[in-house]
């Protein structure tokens, strides 16, 4: 599975958005657009991504820009995977 | 199902006791040690479902609300690792009147960390325990919890200017409580957890461990961190039976979902050990 598909899978499971996950594209806005994505969900999403991809997210990495769109989140994960 | 209060050093802690039905003999007592904060609220339905399954299978189950949580006395902000561990001991002592055999701790998430540390100090507490998705490292756990505060400031739903993780730890060091997702985390509580790490804990060889966790991988597998800890424990001579199950991370979910594979596997391992 590609990183994009896997991030979508983690998003779907963590936020319980069901079939709405099928409509997610690179430019889909996350923060402010998905009601389930409150501060607790953001923290859980980061943990879920860390565990799923076996990466470590430094707290300095966490910014509003990372969660702006689905694409920005995937880019972030891809960068971490290369590290 | 009997609700009542247990007298602990900290005050009255609330407990629910599920007995096996129809006056059946108690095979063993099981003592549930809960996870942290909101994880407990999101898990209640699964915990109660599992307790009923255990009871049907002949086990009595005591579900504890630790100090400052649920219906127990105290506030969350006053809770400490030390207080919570004394609550567990009080419950174990209460259970002595119902059975000569020691209770089996069934400890979930951060509850597993508290319990592992406790049995290291008091090896005679029990001869077996069930660990549900253990939190491996207390410092990392608190840091993950503090992320919620960072996220709140980042998502602009908080009025404070954005802090960093360093700022938050500094606040705790300075004696300030942190208000996170509706819970007051005191410096004492954070420090208490930060000092606990499963890898550093030596589980007594007299205690057999059932370690269950949830995996999204296919086939299900333990996380590398968990596997590492289990290897360390086994190398020290601890009997560990580990299992990874495909199921949902129910303690993280906003809308309740069941985790039947996870629950069934737990009962299965328990019955195998106590056949």
Q: What is the 3-state secondary structure (H, E, C) of B112-163?
A: HHHHHHHHHHCHHHCCEEEEECCCCEHHHHHHHHHHHHHHHHHCCCCCCCCC
Mean pLDDT taken over chain B: 94
Instruction: Return left, alpha or beta for A27; rule: phi > 0 is left, psi -120 to 50 is alpha, else beta.
Output: alpha
Domains of chain B: 2-136+198-273 (3.40.50.1820), 142-188 (no CATH)
Largest Cα–Cα separation, chain B: 59
Maximal C-alpha separation, chain A:
32
pLDDT for A73: 95
Query: Which residues, 6 or more positions from B221, have their beta carbon under 8 angstroms from its beta carbon?
Result: B215, B244
Q: What is the pLDDT of residue B120?
A: 97
Residue corresponding to tokens 């086994």 = B234
Q: What are phi and psi of A18, to 5 degrees?
A: 55, -130
Among A59, A63, A76, pick the best mutation site for testing chain B contact (most B Cβ within 10 A): A59
B182 contact A CB<8A = no
Across the range B237-246, mean pLDDT stands at: 97
Q: Which of residues 28-47 of A touch B (CB under 8 A)?
A: 31-32, 36-44, 46-47
Whether the per-residue pLDDT at B123 is higher than 90: the answer is yes
Q: How far is CA A44 from the centre of its chain?
A: 10
- Distance to chain B for A25, nearest Cα, Å: 21
Structural domain including A17 reads 3-82
**Closest chain B C-alpha to A1 CA, distance in angstroms:** 12
Please choose, from the candidates B135, B137, B143, B138, the residue with its C-alpha nearest in 3D space to the C-alpha of residue B178.
B143
The reported pLDDT for the residue numbered B152 is 85
Chain B residues touching A62 at Cβ < 8 A: 147, 150-151, 154
Cis peptide bond upstream of B219, omega within 30:
yes
DSSP annotation of B173 reads H
| pLDDT confidence tier of residue B161, bands split at 50, 70 and 90 | low
User: CATH number, domain at A18?
Assistant: 1.10.1200.10
Chain B residues with CB inside 8 Å of A1's CB? none
* Mean pLDDT across B135-153: 91
- Render A9-73 in DSSP notation, one character per residue: HHHHHHHT-GGGGGG--TT-B-TTT-TT--HHHHHHHHHHHHHHHT----GGG--TTTTTBHHHH
* pLDDT, tens digit, 9 for 90 and up, residues B181-228: 999 999 999 999 999 999 999 999 999 999 999 998 889 999 989 999
Return all residues near A58 (Cβ < 8 A) that are at least 6 apart: none
**Residues A6-56 pLDDT 10s:** 999 999 989 999 899 999 999 999 988 998 898 889 999 999 898 888 888
The whole-angstrom separation of Cα B94 and Cα B111 is 19
Interface confidence (ipTM) of the complex: 0.84
Is pLDDT above 60 for B157? no
When mean pLDDT is compared across A69-83, B54-68, B84-98, the lowest value belongs to A69-83
Chain A hits for B224, CB-CB cut-off 8 Å, are: 54
A positions 9-28 inside 8 Å of B (CB)? 9-10, 13-14, 16
pTM: 0.93
Q: What is the mean pLDDT of residues B116-120?
A: 98
**Domain count within chain A:** 1
Among all residues of chain B, which has the CA nearest to that of A9? B216
Alpha carbon distance B15, B3 (integer Å): 6
How many angstroms separate the CA atoms of B116 and B203, rounded? 7
Residue B105: partners with Cβ closer than 8 Å, 6 or more residues away: B30, B31, B33, B88, B115, B119, B125, B126, B129, B130
**What was the pLDDT predicted at A64?**
86
Q: Find, among B96, B77, B80, B83, the residue nearest to B31 by Cα.
A: B96
Cα torsion angle, A5, A7, A8, A10, sign: positive
């Amino acid at each position: 599975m590609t990183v994009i598909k896997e991030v979508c899978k983690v998003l779907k499971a963590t936020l319980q958005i069901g079939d709405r996950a099928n409509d997610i594209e690179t430019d889909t806005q996350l923060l402010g657009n998905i009601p389930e994505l409150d501060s607790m969900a953001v923290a859980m999403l980061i943990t879920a991504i860390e565990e799923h991809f076996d990466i470590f997210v430094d707290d300095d990495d966490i910014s509003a820009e990372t969660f702006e769109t689905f694409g920005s989140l995937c880019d972030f994960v891809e960068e971490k995977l290369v590290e | 199902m009997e609700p009542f209060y247990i007298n602990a050093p900290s005050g009255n802690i609330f407990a629910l006791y599920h007995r096996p039905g129809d006056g059946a003999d108690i095979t063993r007592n099981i003592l549930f040690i809960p996870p942290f904060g909101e994880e407990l609220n999101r898990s209640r339905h699964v915990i109660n479902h599992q307790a009923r399954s255990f009871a049907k299978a002949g086990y009595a189950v005591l579900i504890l609300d630790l100090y400052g949580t649920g219906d127990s006395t105290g506030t969350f902000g006053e809770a400490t690792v030390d207080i919570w561990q004394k609550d567990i001991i009080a419950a174990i002592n209460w259970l002595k009147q119902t059975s000569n055999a020691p209770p089996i701790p069934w400890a979930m998430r951060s509850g597993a960390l508290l319990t592992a540390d406790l049995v290291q100090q008091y090896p005679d507490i029990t001869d077996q325990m069930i660990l549900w998705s253990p939190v491996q490292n207390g410092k990392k756990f608190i840091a993950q919890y503090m992320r919620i505060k960072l996220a709140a400031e980042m998502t602009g739903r908080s009025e404070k200017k954005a802090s960093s993780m360093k700022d938050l730890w500094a606040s705790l060091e300075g004696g300030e409580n942190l208000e996170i997702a509706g819970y007051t985390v005191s410096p004492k509580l954070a420090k208490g957890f930060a000092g606990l790490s499963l890898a550093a804990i030596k589980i007594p060889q007299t205690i057999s461990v059932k370690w269950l966790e949830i995996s999204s991988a296919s086939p299900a597998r333990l996380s590398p961190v968990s596997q590492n800890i289990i290897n360390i424990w086994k190398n020290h001579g601890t009997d560990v039976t580990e299992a990874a199950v495909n199921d949902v991370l129910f303690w993280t979910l906003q809308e309740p979902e069941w985790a039947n594979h996870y629950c069934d596997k737990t009962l299965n391992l328990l019955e195998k050990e106590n056949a």
